[in-house]
Structure 1
């Protein structure tokens, strides 16, 4: 069975007919509700917050964000802003008169909001679409880079984001995670029902600062199947830690080449030093 993202771009796939079918399906509503509540639990919000809903569609997740804590929404009711690439999906959200503000935008072109705007962000079943490029001028890597860099900037220091997505394979899963880490996030992957056809993958992201200290260890501590990474921008190396291109790195590479029988230059006090620019 073909995946939707392999058939058409999202703005074409989710036309009026498909959007209404998606929104009115009781099965999809149940799954969407479950995944949204799961994402909210991973955000660990304790008070009403301003949340960005990426790929908000017809507002199924937004309706949960707007609900009060008494209706099972942690820290709610939340104020939310959503954007989606499908005008048909957004049209249904307007018909339903959802409480969030809505924008028509392509996540692969970035996140069009002022730096530090949001306390948190969620995305349900959307970011796998960024792994497809529809023109020769674009690439999945470029779309993911623009999205995660924009998302990182739009979140306040100490903010969190949870993106549920359906990776096609491990390569795609690693590509998405690597793009988030390169943008500066502390990142962790959590899989519910791993190994089954109902498996759901959550990418949990944090922005350094505040009480989370730039990683998500406290968020996912004790959860099975969690892969936690913390490769933030500007994280200082430990004393004596090898730096690519540095003296220790060069000397180790030379030793490897010598063991293979190759001829290498003799080490000197200038090994690993940067040359001054000559004019």
Structure 2
């Protein structure tokens, strides 16, 4: 059976009929509520917060965010972002926006909010759609980087995000977590019911925290923040020191040496982040050509 994201882009797949079917299904409502409660437990918010709901759909998760009791740190105010106009129309019909607002936007184009706007973010069953290339101009890695870069910027320092997702394979899982780490997040993945058909993955992300080195963030390794969360396995979040100075005084790190292979690879990544198509790296990338007489 084909996965929804392999059939059509989300804005086309979730038309009026599919959006209504999704929203009125008691089974989906129960699953969505369960996963949202799980995400909230991982966020561990101590007080009412402003939360970004990414891929909010018809506001099923928003209902949970708005109904959290004061004893559990709520209720929360939320802003939902989704690419499907039909899903957002369902949210409006349900009056799901009493404690929230809606925005029609493509998360693969970034998160269009001012820096530090949100205390936290949740996403339920959405970010795997970014792994699909709908046209020849789409680059999944570039869309993921654009999304995570924007999400990182939109969260306040010390903020957290929890993204529940369904990767099609291990390659997608690695691609998603690598994009989050590259954006600067401390990252960990929690898997509920591993090895079963009900297995669910939660990508737990942190922005800054007590493990940062020095007043300006040091090397950006914030693994320790995620490591303190019960049941979360830490991904490799040791960021490359792209702008570090080499061992000898005055010698630049390879990625700062113009024309080197590392420099070329970094430039390609910057171009991919902007959505441009670049040639794949090979053993010849950055190799100097011999002078022909």
**TM category, shorter:** 0.7 to 0.9
Task: For 1:155 and 1:229, locate their aligned partners in 2 and report how far apart those are by CA, in whole Å.
Answer: 21
- SS of aligned partner of 1:229: coil
Cα distance change of structure 1 residues 47 and 81 upon mapping to structure 2, 3 Å threshold: same
Give the 5 Å matches for 1:160-171: 160-171=160-171
C-alpha RMSD of matched pairs (Å): 2.4
Does 2:241 match 1:229?
A: no
Q: TM-score, normalised by structure 1?
A: 0.80
**Partner residue in 1 for 2:92:** 94
Aligned to 2:77: 79
Deviations along 1:39-96, one digit per CA (max 9) or x if unpaired, are 00101100000000000000000011111316x8x31100100010000000000011
C-alpha contact 1:57 1:86 (8 A) present in aligned 2? yes
Count of residue pairs brought into register by the alignment: 241
1:225 shift after superposition: 6.5
Question: Take 2:235 and 2:40, find their aligned partners in 1: how far apart are those partners?
Answer: 19
Q: CA deviation at 1:29?
A: 0.6
Where does residue 10 of structure 1 map in the other structure? 10
Aligned to 2:40: 40
CA-CA distance at 1:221 after TM superposition? 3.9
The corresponding residue for 1:178 is: 178
Question: Residue 157 and residue 235 in structure 1: after superposition, are their counterparts in 2 closer, same or farther (change >3 A)?
Answer: farther
| CA distance in structure 2 between the partners assigned to 1:225 and 1:150 by the alignment | 24
- 2-structure distance, mates of 1:229, 1:75: 31
Q: Could you say which residue in structure 1 is the equivalent of 2:208?
A: 208
Q: In 2, are the aligned partners of 1:184 and 1:231 still within 8 Å (CA)?
A: no
Contact 2:51 2:121 in 1 (8 A): yes
CA distance in 2, matches of 1:202, 1:46: 20
Give the distance between the partners of 2:180 and 2:232, measured in 1 at CA: 19
Structure 1, unpaired ranges of 5+: 247-279
Tell me which residue corresponds to 1:277.
none
* Deviations, residues 202-242 of structure 1 (Å, cap 9, x unaligned): 00001114x575636455547446233333576998x97xx
**Alpha-carbon separation, structure 1, partners of 2:157 and 2:102:** 24
Counterparts in 2 of 1:157 and 1:222: CA distance versus 1, 3 Å = closer
Which structure has the bigger radius of gyration? 1
Q: 1:133: how far off? A: 1.8
Q: Say which SS state the counterpart of residue 42 (structure 1) adopts.
A: helix
Q: Give the distance between the partners of 1:216 and 1:23, measured in 2 at CA.
A: 37
CA separation in 2, counterparts of 1:215 and 1:32? Answer: 30
Call closer, same or farther: CA 1:232–1:159 in 2, change over 3 Å.
farther
User: Structure 2 stretches of 5 or more lacking a match?
Assistant: 213-220, 256-293
Distance (whole Å) between structure 1 residues aligned to residue 69 and residue 149 of structure 2: 31
